[in-house]
Chain A
Amino acid sequence: MKLVNDLLDKQLLDRKKVKAGRVDGIILELRDDQPPRVAAIESGFAVVAARVSERWARLAVAIGKRLGVRKTPRYRIPWEKVTDVGFDIEVDVDGINSPLMVWEKWLRQHIPGK
């Protein structure tokens, strides 16, 4: 598997196949005398902002804290929770009740209508 081509920036689907963000980052665990292991995938604006610059990442974290919606600027999904790697990446997570979609949930609760 190609981590950049097949995994990074791909669409995340939660266990109900709902779009739940993108794979904004991949964490490798470095081990002595063993190959690095894919430990987790990460999602969150702070993750993706850090790919542009550290200043953007700090700004994203600060804005998130100020607005008080997102407690975790970087959300980690352990590799064991990844159930399928295809065109999209399926994870065994309940998106709407996880930090993945915390803004979506907040908006749904605060906007009127159907």
Chain B
Amino acid sequence: MKNIGQIALGILTAIGGFLEVGTMATSAQAGASFRFSLIWALLLGAVCLIFLIEMTGRHAAVSKHSLSGAVRERFGFPFSVVPRTADIIVNMLLVGAEIGGVAFAIKLLTGYPIMVWAIPAAIVMWLLIWLSTLNIIEYSTAGLGMFAIAFIVAAVKSHPPLHDVARGFVPSLPRDDAAHYWFLAISIIGANVSPYMFHFYSSGAIEEKWDEKSLTMNRVTSLIGMGFGAAIALTVIICSAMVFHPLHIQIDKYEQIAFVLVPTLGKWGIPLFAIILGICCLGAACEISLATAYELAQALGWNWGEDKKPKQEARFALTYTIMLIVGTILMLTGIDPLKLTMLTMALTAVVLPLTVIPFIVLMNDEHYVGKHTNGPIGNTVVVFTIVLTSIVAIVTIPLEIMGGS
């Protein structure tokens, strides 16, 4: 049962991280604009994520300390206030985007506009978090997230040229529209390697009382969970490439993405897309709101835990409530959800180095991880990710200004 719970945590983290509005938007745009050429960015993000998620779980299982708490303890408050503040701001935008995703999914099924559904969607999310436990959220979202397998079916049925797909795994230079290409590459990495995923996974591991015996399952969970998410994201690129690219359609509205499953799945295409998007964005919004509450509570030393009653950790509960309120207000301003999503993915890429840099210290600190410190491969991946995310952080804003988005 504990193993199933671990894998469910991994899949939920993946659904919240991979299969949410950011991945849908960036993968769909990548496939439509550049066919299979940006698969390498997805692969790069996925590999980094699998390693970092495994480290996060290992750190939590051995030290019984959260990532956010450990960063404060090891680096001090003046350092930790920077990534925490950046995360809170970006997460607020992300929650807005996810609420927009759920509202858009319901709009597809009902025909009523997005703004009508923003508040009900947020209330459902809040009730889910307030009334249930982490296990219920994990199992329900992970279970329902299996609808995403429809993307795998659609990708196979579209008969993509496998040789071209394989070529996409190798980085290549764009033939034209370089700013847009690189901006999408960065956004894919930002969509897939999001700081909130580490905080959610770390906190979930502590709530589920992982210990050193959980380390093997942690590796399996990281691989299966994140691998599943990456596989679905890959199929979104493939489906989009097969449907939109031949028609030279540039994705700039969610309404366009909704047709991605229609050519292969017929009349079920749009309802299935709506269900997948709605479930995944619901899971993501809950995950991001909770992750922010975890982060803040752990950094400031508050009582925290999704498995506790809200009144026992009132400040924790207030934090995720505020996140959902702010996200809803963002959607009610009428901001275009796709534009908000793309902006947020880019901002995530900018703040990512602040989250990754502490790994090089924490994962080599025997005080926290005992004998389970990183080996040379783990440290190499961390250093590589720090360099990669730092470059990404530097070039994101100039690329956006150059018209990348």
Verify A104–B303 contact, CB threshold 8 A.
yes
> Does B171 sit at the interface, judged by CB under 8 A?
no
Within B298-353, the residues touching A (CB, 8 Å) are: 300-304, 309-311, 313-315, 317-318
User: Which one of B72-80, B267-275, B279-287, B374-382 is at the interface?
Assistant: B72-80
> Does A70 sit at the interface, judged by CB under 8 A?
no
Nearest neighbor of B81 in chain A, beta-carbon distance: A52
Verify B310–A113 contact, CB threshold 8 A.
yes
Verify A19–B314 contact, CB threshold 8 A.
no
> Does B65 sit at the interface, judged by CB under 8 A?
yes
Which one, B64, B304, B311, contacts A19 given CB within 8 A? Answer: B304
A43 to B300 CA separation, bound complex (whole angstroms): 10
User: Which one of A5-13, A26-34, A58-66 is at the interface?
Assistant: A5-13
With contacts A9-B73, A22-B72, A24-B77 taken as known, whether A113 is within 8 angstroms of B311 at the C-beta atoms is yes
Find chain B residues with CB under 8 A from A113 CB: 130, 310-311
Find chain B residues with CB under 8 A from A19 CB: 301-304
Verify A114–B77 contact, CB threshold 8 A.
no
A11 to B313 CA separation, bound complex (whole angstroms): 16
- Nearest CB in chain B: distance from A65 CB, A: 19
A104 to B318 CA separation, bound complex (whole angstroms): 10
Find chain A residues with CB under 8 A from B65 CB: 87
Find chain B residues with CB under 8 A from A8 CB: 76
A111 to B64 CA separation, bound complex (whole angstroms): 30
> Does B69 sit at the interface, judged by CB under 8 A?
yes
With contacts A9-B72, A87-B65, A111-B310 taken as known, whether A21 is within 8 angstroms of B77 at the C-beta atoms is no
Verify B314–A11 contact, CB threshold 8 A.
no
Verify B314–A111 contact, CB threshold 8 A.
yes
- Give the A-B pair count, Cβ closer than 8 A: 58
Number of residues on chain A facing chain B (CB within 8 A)? 24
Find chain B residues with CB under 8 A from A24 CB: 77
Find chain B residues with CB under 8 A from A11 CB: 69, 73, 301
Verify A107–B314 contact, CB threshold 8 A.
yes
Verify A104–B77 contact, CB threshold 8 A.
no
Nearest neighbor of B130 in chain A, beta-carbon distance: A113
Verify B318–A21 contact, CB threshold 8 A.
no
A43 to B301 CA separation, bound complex (whole angstroms): 10
A108 to B300 CA separation, bound complex (whole angstroms): 18
With contacts A9-B77, A10-B73, A52-B81 taken as known, whether A111 is within 8 angstroms of B304 at the C-beta atoms is no
A20 to B315 CA separation, bound complex (whole angstroms): 12
Verify B78–A107 contact, CB threshold 8 A.
no
Find chain A residues with CB under 8 A from B301 CB: 11-12, 19-22, 43
Nearest neighbor of B82 in chain A, beta-carbon distance: A52
Nearest neighbor of A48 in chain B, beta-carbon distance: B77
Nearest neighbor of A11 in chain B, beta-carbon distance: B301
- Nearest CB in chain B: distance from A96 CB, A: 9
Verify B76–A104 contact, CB threshold 8 A.
no
Verify B315–A103 contact, CB threshold 8 A.
yes
> Does A18 sit at the interface, judged by CB under 8 A?
yes
A11 to B81 CA separation, bound complex (whole angstroms): 16
With contacts A9-B76, A11-B301, A22-B72 taken as known, whether A107 is within 8 angstroms of B318 at the C-beta atoms is yes
A24 to B300 CA separation, bound complex (whole angstroms): 9
B223-264 to A contact mask, C-beta < 8 Å, 1/0: 000000000000000000000000000000000000000000
Nearest neighbor of B309 in chain A, beta-carbon distance: A114
Find chain B residues with CB under 8 A from A114 CB: 309-311
Find chain B residues with CB under 8 A from A48 CB: 77, 300
> Does A51 sit at the interface, judged by CB under 8 A?
yes
Nearest neighbor of A18 in chain B, beta-carbon distance: B303
A95 to B301 CA separation, bound complex (whole angstroms): 12
Verify B77–A52 contact, CB threshold 8 A.
yes
Find chain B residues with CB under 8 A from A111 CB: 310-311, 314, 317-318
Find chain A residues with CB under 8 A from B314 CB: 104, 107-108, 111
- Nearest CB in chain B: distance from A78 CB, A: 19
Find chain B residues with CB under 8 A from A10 CB: 73
Find chain B residues with CB under 8 A from A108 CB: 311, 314
Taking Cβ atoms with an 8 Å cutoff, the residues of B that contact A are 64-65, 69, 72-73, 76-78, 81, 130, 300-304, 309-311, 313-315, 317-318
17 contacts between A and B (CB under 8 A): A11-B301, A12-B301, A19-B302, A21-B300, A22-B72, A48-B77, A51-B78, A52-B77, A52-B78, A52-B81, A104-B302, A104-B314, A107-B315, A107-B318, A111-B311, A111-B314, A113-B130
**Known interface pairs A9-B76, A51-B76, A107-B314; 13 further A-B residue pairs with C-beta atoms within 8 A, sorted by A's residue number:** A9-B72, A11-B73, A18-B303, A19-B302, A22-B300, A48-B300, A52-B78, A103-B315, A104-B315, A108-B311, A108-B314, A111-B310, A111-B318
Taking Cβ atoms with an 8 Å cutoff, the residues of A that contact B are 4, 8-12, 18-22, 24, 43, 48, 51-52, 87, 103-104, 107-108, 111, 113-114
